[in-house]
A and B are shown apart, each in its own frame.
Chain A
Amino acid sequence: MNTPLSWIKDYVPDLDVTDQEYRDGMTLSGTKVENFARRDKNLEKIIVGEVLEVEKHPDAEHLVVCQVNTGSDTIQIVTGAPNVHKGDKVPVVLAGGKVAGSAHDDGPAPEEGYAIKEGKLRGIDSFGMMCSIDELGSDVNFYPEADPEGIYIFPADAPVGADAVELLGLHDTVVEYEVTSNRVDCFSILGIAREAAVTFGKEFKPPVIRETGNSEDVNDFVSVEVKDTDLCTRYTARVVKNIRIEPSPKWMQLRLGAAGIRPINNIVDITNFVMLEYGQPMHAYDYDKIAGRKIIVRRAADGDKFVTLDGQERNLDKDVLMICDGEKEIGIAGVMGGENTMITDDVKTMLFEAATFNGTNIRKSSRRVGLRTDASGIFEKGLDPRNASEAMNRACQLVEELGAGEVVGGMIDIKVPFKDLVRIPFEPDRINDLLGTSYSPEEMIEVFEKEDLSFDKDKNEVVIPSFRQDLLALCDLAEEVARFKGYDNIPTTLPGGNAMGGIGLKLRMEDTARQVAEMCGFSQAYVYSFESPKVFDKLKLPEDAPERNAIRISNPLGEDFSVMRTISLNGMLSSLSTNYNRRNPEVKLYELGNIYVPESLPLTDYPDERMQLTFGFYGKGDFFTMKGAVEEFFNAVGMKKKREYDPKAGKSFLHPGRQALVKYEGKVLGYLGEVHPSVCNAYDIKTRVYVAVIDMPSVIEFVSYDHKYEGIAKFPAVTRDISMLVPADVLVGQIEAVFAQRGGKILEEVKLFDIYEGEQVAKGFKSVAYSLTFRAKDKTLEENEITAAMKKILNGLQSLGIELRS
């Protein structure tokens, strides 16, 4: 919403604030000023001059030398403008002044404007410049009388030496507001003016509307029938005859121009003026084109087509409300009129319409029809039906004042009965309790009355005028008190009472994951939750993989963002790919984010949102680098038992010989491995990539932060190294399982210190060497105890086909 400040001052004549004060005051009382712009920015020393003489420049064909009366002086100005004649009154910027724009440059105007100096043009002195409308920072759209190619010419009665900027109405500020959706009344100049009046404690003076119309009766001209009263709660109509189409007066053009609306002619300008002033869109039909002198408001039928006044054909359906005459449709209600009844320059009689339509219906219709107009944008907010007749009468008053036509007496007014005015019990103590303030009831009532709410003393109720649709309950009244007394004036306190803050186990576990990941050199990534369904093929998932049962978004931004992820790897691999292709030499990332597993599809209830801890890296390191990070996480969340790594993970997207499921107490917690080369290829990564995915909901049952000190060993340890010849297909994990089963309590630690396959070892075997440490908590071990334990271990190893190397 853009409004010139001068227009606000029409209704708050005592308003005397600077632009900055206005902006701050309005913003703090709830009408946020987004921006304001002086229209006379960079317009300095510009007066009305009278051209006394025009002579050809002796040395330049396209220049003329003018003598110009500036009121106090006569100065010489050289110009190239083609439209200057003796006797013309023109805007003249004197040397040392400034203009805002350029007649020759279409680009954005410079911040500092253009300084005008004395100078010579082709050898002839020039002491100023005559200005075009563009140089004055405006344009021919808003000053239709201006010559687009030349100097702006004032009417002959413009006083010489006067402030030209003033005459053009440019000593003004255009203010842009952010009006919240609940304040329908503030999508109008009057609504904002009322707010300004209360904000600055000045009197609000809305226009006085007097009776209009001749002795004829509008009912003799037209009848109106509203069939769908659910969509049209009020329809008012008046008729104007003997219309004279002409430009509207300068004052009206200036108002519209400052609000960013191009003046067209008196009738169109009046409807636009009233729409801005009252926030009530109006429409004018050519009365002589209305068949049967009849208006019918009804729904369209499915498949109907209609040509709007912009010449476009629109597809209708049964939920679009139409304005019809006795034979045909003549307008889409609240959106745009029809080409068939639009007014033209030779219109004789017209029908003015001001109606109230169902806002939701207009919003949806305008979207389906594919046409959003200034009018629909206002209607869709849901207007106050009481406002329609006021706007109608204001428009007719302007018609009479402008001499644009003869208004026929009376108004057709079809409406469903108005709703009763809202009454809110006045409970000042509760208002103070909610705000934490101590305003007196009188202070509150003063605020209400200033903004035209009335106080019913007998019933102790605040009566809400119909234009304030946002005020329904006590809390709404509290906001009125708060914002006009000033949010700044409300004290600042902290809530009383005691409360325990903190985080639960899930968040604590995630916090540990971040710490461990970062300690291990992984940096945190954030990725999207939705991705392309092509991801499943990219990851080589089998056709029947459960991950393919993903939740689809019905209105995604595009196919690439259309399914909720069921596996976290795509985000990780995409991020690694980005890094790889930007030549970052080695990158380690981790990510904590949900996957979304539906119970069934289509989705009827909450899916299972499962937090995944995902690691990924390329560069220095291998499978065991990744395994180390995963192990460290389990250690850090207190999972002290041995984790098992099962190579039969069955992950199609991982290297078949370098993948493992991670298990704890037999339960699968996740997987890790080297990414399959063809998957790497699909992600455009030409090096080895390692990933790990931990399913956090599976982990949480084993997590414990309850850690106890075990005591430092007091008795000596005994170490035995064994070197074994192991069949190649036996895993180190199997050997360690034998140690764990057979070593007994006294086996404190096992450490792999060598593993070798090659020339010195028989084919089909590998050499594996461990260091075993034995220790008892309560005594020094005897030799025979260790020998016995070792014997048990060796027997177990034999069953795996393992021999000791000599």
Chain B
Amino acid sequence: MKEKLEEIRQKALAKIAESDTPDKLNEVRVAILGKKGELTEVLKSMKDVSPEDRPKVGQLVNETRADIEKILEETRNKLESAALDLRLATETIDVTLPGDVPTPGHRHPNQIALDEIERVFIGMGYEVVEGPEIEKDYYNFEALNIPADHPAKDEQDTFYINGEMLLRTQTSGCQIHEMEKGRLPIRMIAPGRVFRADEVDATHSPSFHQVEGLVVDKHVTFADLKGTLEEFARQMFGAETKVKFRPHHFPFTEPSAEMDVSCFKCGGKGCRFCKNEGWIEILGCGMVHPHVLEMCKIDPKEYTGFAFGVGLERIALLKYEIDDMRLLYENDYRFLKQF
């Protein structure tokens, strides 16, 4: 019996050694260890073995089986590993070929700039509101301290629908609409489209966008205005940005200022981008004129406020170094896809 088992074992080892694929290996396993396999046949003939020898023979058979299984397993691992190596070796690709890039659309640079501005001010607790683009004379001028004969009315080259209705020349009217709601305090920005009778060229467009800002509360100061806009400038143009406030004049704010930021290209040393000035004019601002508050039925002795207006296209042109404003309204895909 022992000889018989050894014979089976040798035969199995020889067949395993001949097998060069997992399939052939499996044939060997079935032929030896399967239901009708040679070793199984041996087990079946156990009934012929004397009862006292059975445990010993059984143990021998099991040892032989375990031995063969172990070698089968080792060989299969070896074969599979070799097959995998072979596959991997044939699957080498040229990793320098271009990637499959998804083609989503692109956001307009105006919108990107606006998203940034909104992000900054929402973070500081501002609500984003809107006002009408076709506006009444009162909201665009009169309520902003620009009475009928004021030269500023000419300066802004207004498109009129008729004597009463016009295309707003500034988003500042949104200040009035917001204050008239009678809910205080106010902390808002109002982005929107404005219109001025300028012919189209590289730096002018008859339609462009502003973002208006307004804060009205008790104890709001010019220092708060400075702090707020300085924070805005840093978030928009980088932490290193310096700001400069210059006195200016707007009919609806007093004191008024224009804010310059240090040139984000040269850092203030002076370059072609900032016309060698080191500074770039960004926005106009000031403390809400008490007369404007009064017209909105807000008591200027109790409440003060500040307001500012940013030209959106100006920010977009500066930030993305776009040299011609017309590009913003042509919608040429070769332009848009860069954003």
A residues touching B (Cβ–Cβ < 8 Å)? 27-30, 32, 180-183, 359-360, 363, 380-381, 433-437, 470, 473-476, 478-479, 482-483, 487-488, 490-504, 506-507, 514, 517-530, 551-557, 561, 564, 575, 578-579, 582, 584, 587-590, 593-594, 596, 602-604, 606-607, 609
Contacts and interface: CB of A to CB of B under 8 A. Distances in A.
Interface string B225-246: 0111011000000000000111
A490 B247 contact: no
Contacts of A523: 105-108, 331, 333, 336-337
A30 B207 contact: no
Interface in B122-156: 122-130, 132-134, 136, 149, 151-152, 154-155
| Interface residues of chain B: helix, strand, loop or mixed (majority) | mixed
Given A434-B304, A436-B222, A529-B193, A575 B104 contact: no
B127 A495 contact: no
Given A496-B217, A497-B185, 10 more contacts: A435-B255, A437-B223, A488-B244, A499-B127, A501-B123, A507-B130, A518-B105, A519-B104, A553-B160, A609-B132
Contact of A32 (B132, B246, B290, B334): B246
B17 interface: no
A514 B107 contact: yes
A506 B128 CA distance: 11
Interface string B114-128: 000010011111111
B247 A526 contact: no
Interface string B251-275: 1001111000000000000000000
Contact of A492 (B105, B130, B223, B246): B223
B207 A529 contact: yes
Contacts of B107: 514, 518, 523-524
A501 B246 contact: no
B332 A578 contact: yes
Nearest to B289: A475
Given A491-B223, A492-B226, A602 B246 contact: no
A33 to B, nearest CB: 10
A523 B339 CA distance: 10
Contacts of B165: 603-604
Interface residues of B, number: 81
Given A524-B106, A579-B333, A495 B151 contact: no
B217 A503 contact: no
Interface in B74-125: 103-108, 110-111, 118, 121-125
B248 A181 contact: no
B331 A527 contact: yes
B134 A557 contact: no
For the complex of A and B, the 10 pairs showing the least CB-CB separation, nearest first, are A436-B223, A436-B221, A30-B247, A499-B125, A479-B255, A180-B249, A575-B331, A524-B108, A492-B227, A525-B331
Given A490-B222, A502-B122, A528 B207 contact: yes
Contacts of B215: 495
Nearest to A360: B149
16 contacts: A30-B246, A363-B151, A433-B221, A487-B245, A487-B246, A487-B257, A495-B220, A499-B185, A501-B187, A503-B118, A507-B130, A523-B333, A523-B336, A530-B159, A553-B159, A596-B134
A181 B155 contact: yes
A604 B137 CA distance: 12
Given A479-B247, A520-B105, A526 B161 contact: no
Contacts of B219: 433, 496
Interface in B269-300: 287, 289-291
B249 to A, nearest CB: 3
B115 to A, nearest CB: 9
A575 B330 contact: yes
B197 A555 contact: yes
Contacts of B244: 28, 488
Contacts of A499: 125-127, 185, 187
Interface string B201-225: 0000011000000010101111110
A29 B245 CA distance: 10
Contacts, number: 244
B170 to A, nearest CB: 16
Interface of B: 103-108, 110-111, 118, 121-130, 132-134, 136, 149, 151-152, 154-155, 159-162, 164-165, 167, 185, 187, 193, 195, 197, 199, 206-207, 215, 217, 219-224, 226-228, 230-231, 244-249, 251, 254-257, 287, 289-291, 304, 328-334, 336-337
B104 A521 contact: yes
A554 B161 contact: yes
B248 A180 contact: yes
A483 B255 CA distance: 9
Contact of A475 (B103, B106, B290, B337): B290
Nearest to A500: B125
Given A32-B246, A522-B105, A497 B217 contact: yes
Best-buried of B111, B207, B221 by chain A (most CB within 10 Å): B221
B160 A500 contact: no
A476 B126 contact: no
B247 A29 contact: yes
B221 A493 contact: yes
A27 B246 contact: yes
Nearest to A498: B125
A492 B230 contact: yes
Contact of B134 (A488, A496, A554, A606): A606
Contacts of B159: 530, 553, 555-556
A30 B134 contact: no
A589 B329 CA distance: 13
A521 B101 CA distance: 12
Given A433-B304, A496-B219, A557-B197, A584 B332 contact: yes
B232 to A, nearest CB: 11
A557 B206 contact: yes
A519 B103 CA distance: 8
A569 to B, nearest CB: 14
A524 B104 CA distance: 11
Nearest to A588: B105
A501 B122 contact: yes
A363 B249 contact: no
Contacts of B134: 551, 564, 596, 603, 606-607, 609
B103 A521 contact: yes
Contacts of A470: 249
Given A555-B197, A557-B206, A587-B333, A436 B224 contact: yes
A521 B333 CA distance: 12
Contacts of A183: 249
Given A499-B185, A521-B104, A606-B132, A490 B330 contact: no
A520 B231 CA distance: 36
A518 B336 CA distance: 12
B247 to A, nearest CB: 3
A230 B125 CA distance: 51
Contacts of A380: 151
A495 B331 contact: no
A647 to B, nearest CB: 28
